[in-house]
C-alpha cells in the first residue's frame, strides 16, 4: 500500500469522494463483487448507455427488450448453463492446492472437453486415478471432488421447490422470447435484438472493483440471420477500419504481439468467418475510440477452442489496456450459430424457425446468431480511467462531452450585488432547456473551476457584473481553460450545438484574453 498510487487507486478515491462509485454495503463492512453508483456515476452510466444506443443499436434498427433476472431452471438447463456453469474442482491431499479437474484431464489425460463435460463428479475422480494424474506441483494425489456453481440459485414462490437462477447473461431472455419478438418484427431478417440489464455470476473471488462484479450490467445483442444469406450489406462502411488482432495460431506459438489488419483483409483471409461479426467488431472498436480509448490501447483476442463458451463457434474478446490489470476484456464477439434457438426448440417443443419464401415454395430454418456482448460497468470504469488526467497538479476528468454527468456548471462570480439572483435565473433557463446543470457558489472562482474539472463538467458559465450590464456571460472550457464571452440569449442554441458536436468551444463566443 506504500507504493505510488496507480490509476485504479486514484480513480477509486475520486469516485468515492465525488460520488461516481464505491463498494456496496460499506456501513456493514462491504461485500466484494457489488458496487454502488453514486449520483454522478449513475448519470455517467446512463449517458454511456444512451450513447451506445445511438451508436450501436439505432443505425441497424436493433430492437430492445427487457426480461426478468430470475430464470426458471428449465431455461438454463436447455441453454446448457446448468451443466457448464459448474466447475469440478479437486484438491491435492498433500499441498492443498485446488485445480480444475476437467483441465487436468484435458491436459494430462488427453481427454477432450466434450468428454470431460459429460462426466459425473465421482467419475472425474476415478478418471484422474486411472490416468494416474498427480498434483502437477508436488506430486501428491487427489481424493475428493467438489462442484462450484457460479450461478446464483434461488427458489421461485414461497413454498415451491421449483429452482430458479439469477441469469448469468441477458442473452437467454432474448432467445426464450424470440418467437414473439420475431412476430412483432413481422418476420424480418436479419433482425437484431438487444437487452441491457443486470446479470449475476457468483464469482469465487472478485477482487477487481468495477471490473469484476457478481452483479453487473450486461449489454447483449443477438443478431439473427439466415445462414444461407449472410451478407452484411453495410460491410463497406467498415471495410478499411483496422483492428489489432492476437490470433489463435500465434497464441499457440506463444506470440502475443498483435497484427494490424483491415476488416476487408480479415474477412478475405478467413480470420473472421462472418461478415456481420466483422461489422460489429469494427463498430466496437470505433465506439471505444469515441469513448476516449486510442486504437493502440485496444486489441481483439481470438479465443482458442477450449477457451470458448459452450455455445460459441468462433469468438473474439475485445480488450482495453488498464494500468492495474493490463489487458482487460470489455466485450465478447461470438458466433453462437443456431445453438441456443435449437436447444430451446428441442426442450420446449415450440417451433422457433423462420420461414423464407422462394420460387420452389420456401424453406424453414433456425436463424443463426452473431452476438456482441459488452460489460457496461467495465466501460464506465474504462471511460473514467482514460479521462483521468492532471493539469497543474489539478485533476481534470476529460470525459467526452456526450458522456459527462454534468454538462454545465453555473458560477455567480460574487455572492452579492444581485449576481446570485441573476445566476439563479441562468440556472433555470438552462435546466428548462433540458441541460444537466450544476450550481456552485462556494469558495473562490478558481476553486469552483477546479471542482468542476475534477468531475469532468466541460463548460463553466460565470455570471459577473458584465452580465448585469449587457447580458453576456463567460464560458470556460474544462480542457484548455480558455474563455469566451457570449450572449445569454443565445446560450441555449449554442449549447445544444456544442453538445451534439456541431460546434467547438471556440465557436461559442468571443475569445477572452486575460
Partner RNA sequence: GCGGUCGUAGUCUAGCCUGGUUAGGACCCCGGCUUCCCAAGCCGGGUACUCGGGUUCGAAUCCCGGCGACCGCACCA
Candidate segments 38-46, 58-66, 400-408, 476-484, binder of RNA by CB under 7 A: 476-484
Kind plus residue range of the DSSP H or E element containing 4: none
Candidate segments 95-103, 177-185, 250-258, 359-367, binder of RNA by CB under 7 A: 95-103
103 makes contact with RNA (CB under 7 A): yes
| Binding test (CB under 7 A) with RNA, winner from 47, 51, 81, 368 | 81
372 makes contact with RNA (CB under 7 A): no
Alpha helices by DSSP H, listed for 85-240, are: 101-108, 113-118, 121-130, 171-176, 178-184
Of 267 and 322, which has the nearer Cβ to RNA?
A: 322
Beta strands in 408-509 (DSSP E): 408-412, 437-439, 459-463, 472-477, 483-487
Nearest approach in angstroms of CB 110 to RNA is 18
Candidate segments 91-99, 175-183, 243-251, 339-347, binder of RNA by CB under 7 A: 91-99
Site string for RNA, 36-65 (x = CB under 7 A): ------------------------------
Nearest approach in angstroms of CB 503 to RNA is 19
177 makes contact with RNA (CB under 7 A): no
Beta-sheet strand order (sheet of 63-64): 63-64, 191-200, 215-225, 368-375, 326-337, 314-322, 298-302, 242-246, 259-262
Alpha helices by DSSP H, listed for 131-243, are: 171-176, 178-184
Contact 411, 460 (CB under 8 A): yes
Count CB atoms within 10 A of the CB of residue 23: 17
Of 253 and 393, which has the nearer Cβ to RNA?
A: 393
Of 211 and 238, which has the nearer Cβ to RNA?
A: 211
| Binding test (CB under 7 A) with RNA, winner from 20, 21, 37, 85 | 85
Nearest approach in angstroms of CB 307 to RNA is 6
Contact 437, 430 (CB under 8 A): yes
How many separate helices (H) and strands (E) can be counted in the chain?
18, 27
| Binding test (CB under 7 A) with RNA, winner from 38, 166, 209, 405 | 209
Q: What is the 3-state secondary structure (H, E, C) of 255-282?
A: CCCCEEEEHHHHHHCCCCCCHHHHHHHH
Of 38 and 192, which has the nearer Cβ to RNA?
A: 38
SS3 488: helix
| Binding test (CB under 7 A) with RNA, winner from 47, 201, 244, 299 | 201
343 makes contact with RNA (CB under 7 A): no
Candidate segments 48-56, 90-98, 119-127, 336-344, binder of RNA by CB under 7 A: 90-98
Point out which residues pair with 197 in neighbouring strands.
218
487 makes contact with RNA (CB under 7 A): no
Nearest approach in angstroms of CB 262 to RNA is 28
- CA dist., res. 374 & res. 221, Å (int): 9
40: exposed, middle or buried (Cβ count in 10 Å: 0-12, 13-18, 19+): buried
Contact 482, 435 (CB under 8 A): no
Peptide linkage before 343 cis (omega within 30 of 0): no
Closest CA to 263 of 290, 293, 288, 232: 232
514 makes contact with RNA (CB under 7 A): yes
Of 261 and 301, which has the nearer Cβ to RNA?
A: 301
Candidate segments 83-91, 123-131, 249-257, 423-431, binder of RNA by CB under 7 A: 83-91
- CA dist., res. 483 & res. 461, Å (int): 10
Closest CA to 108 of 83, 87, 127, 126: 127
307 makes contact with RNA (CB under 7 A): yes
143 makes contact with RNA (CB under 7 A): no
Of 208 and 318, which has the nearer Cβ to RNA?
A: 208
Count CB atoms within 10 A of the CB of residue 493: 11
Q: Which of residues 389-408 bind RNA (CB under 7 A)?
A: 392-395
| Binding test (CB under 7 A) with RNA, winner from 96, 129, 231, 487 | 96
Binding residues for RNA, rule: CB under 7 A, are: 1-2, 13, 16-17, 23, 28-32, 81, 84-85, 87, 89, 96-100, 103, 150, 168-169, 201, 203-205, 207-209, 212, 307-310, 324, 392-395, 413-416, 442-447, 449-451, 454, 462, 464-466, 474, 476, 481-483, 514
Amino acid at each position: 500500500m506504500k507504493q505510488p498510487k496507480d490509476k485504479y487507486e486514484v480513480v477509486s478515491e475520486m469516485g468515492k469522494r465525488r460520488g461516481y462509485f464505491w463498494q456496496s454495503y460499506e456501513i456493514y463492512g462491504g461485500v466484494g463483487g457489488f458496487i454502488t453508483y453514486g449520483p454522478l456515476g449513475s448519470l455517467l452510466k446512463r449517458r454511456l448507455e444512451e450513447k451506445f444506443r445511438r451508436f450501436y443499436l439505432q443505425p441497424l434498427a436493433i430492437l430492445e427488450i427487457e426480461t426478468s433476472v430470475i430464470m426458471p431452471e428449465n431455461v438454463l438447463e436447455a441453454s446448457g448453463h446448468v451443466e457448464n456453469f459448474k466447475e469440478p474442482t479437486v484438491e491435492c491431499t498433500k499441498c492443498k492446492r485446488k485445480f480444475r479437474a476437467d483441465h487436468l484431464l484435458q491436459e494430462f489425460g488427453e481427454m477432450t472437453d466434450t468428454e470431460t463435460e459429460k462426466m459425473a463428479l465421482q467419475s472425474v475422480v476415478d478418471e484422474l486415478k486411472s490416468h494416474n494424474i498427480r498434483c502437477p506441483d508436488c506430486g501428491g494425489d487427489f481424493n475428493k471432488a467438489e462442484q462450484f456453481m457460479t450461478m446464483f440459485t434461488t427458489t421461485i414462490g414461497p413454498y415451491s421447490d421449483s429452482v430458479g437462477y439469477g441469469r448469468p447473461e441477458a442473452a437467454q431472455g432474448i432467445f426464450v422470447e424470440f418467437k414473439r419478438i420475431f412476430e412483432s418484427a413481422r418476420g424480418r431478417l436479419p433482425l437484431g435484438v438487444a437487452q441491457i440489464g443486470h446479470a449475476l455470476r457468483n464469482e469465487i473471488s472478485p477482487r477487481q472493483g468495477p471490473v469484476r462484479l457478481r452483479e453487473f450490467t450486461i449489454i447483449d445483442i443477438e443478431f439473427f440471420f439466415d445462414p444461407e444469406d449472410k451478407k452484411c450489406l453495410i460491410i463497406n462502411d467498415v471495410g478499411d477500419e483496422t483492428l489489432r488482432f492476437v490470433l489463435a495460431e500465434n497464441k499457440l506459438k506463444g506470440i502475443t504481439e498483435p497484427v494490424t489488419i483491415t476488416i476487408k483483409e480479415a474477412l478475405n483471409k478467413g480470420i473472421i468467418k462472418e461478415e456481420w461479426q466483422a461489422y460489429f467488431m469494427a463498430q466496437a472498436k470505433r465506439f471505444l475510440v469515441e469513448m476516449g480509448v486510442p486504437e493502440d490501447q485496444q486489441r481483439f483476442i481470438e479465443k482458442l477452442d477450449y477457451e470458448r463458451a459452450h455455445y460459441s463457434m468462433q469468438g473474439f474478446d475485445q480488450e482495453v489496456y488498464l494500468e492495474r490489470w493490463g489487458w482487460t476484456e470489455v466485450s465478447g464477439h461470438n458466433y453462437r450459430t443456431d445453438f441456443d434457438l435449437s436447444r430451446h426448440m428441442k426442450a420446449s417443443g415450440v417451433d422457433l424457425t423462420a420461414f423464407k419464401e422462394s420460387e420452389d415454395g420456401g424453406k424453414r430454418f433456425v436463424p443463426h446468431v452473431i452476438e456482441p456482448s459488452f460489460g457496461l460497468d467495465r466501460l464506465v470504469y474504462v471511460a473514467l480511467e482514460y479521462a483521468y488526467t492532471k493539469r497543474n497538479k489539478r485533476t481534470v476528468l476529460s470525459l467526452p462531452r456526450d458522456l459527462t454527468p454534468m454538462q454545465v456548471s453555473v458560477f455567480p462570480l460574487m455572492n452579492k450585488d444581485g449576481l446570485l439572483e441573476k445566476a439563479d435565473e441562468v440556472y433555470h433557463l438552462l435546466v428548462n432547456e433540458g441541460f444537466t446543470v450544476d450550481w456552485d457558489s462556494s469558495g473562490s472562482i478558481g476553486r469552483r473551476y477546479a471542482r468542476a474539472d475534477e468531475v469532468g463538467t466541460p463548460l463553466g458559465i460565470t455570471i459577473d457584473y458584465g452580465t448585469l450590464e449587457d447580458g453576456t456571460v463567460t464560458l470556460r472550457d474544462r480542457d484548455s481553460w480558455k474563455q469566451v464571452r457570449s450572449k445569454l440569449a443565445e446560450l441555449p442554441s449554442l449549447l445544444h450545438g456544442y453538445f451534439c458536436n456541431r460546434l467547438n468551444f471556440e465557436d461559442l463566443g468571443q475569445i477572452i484574453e486575460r
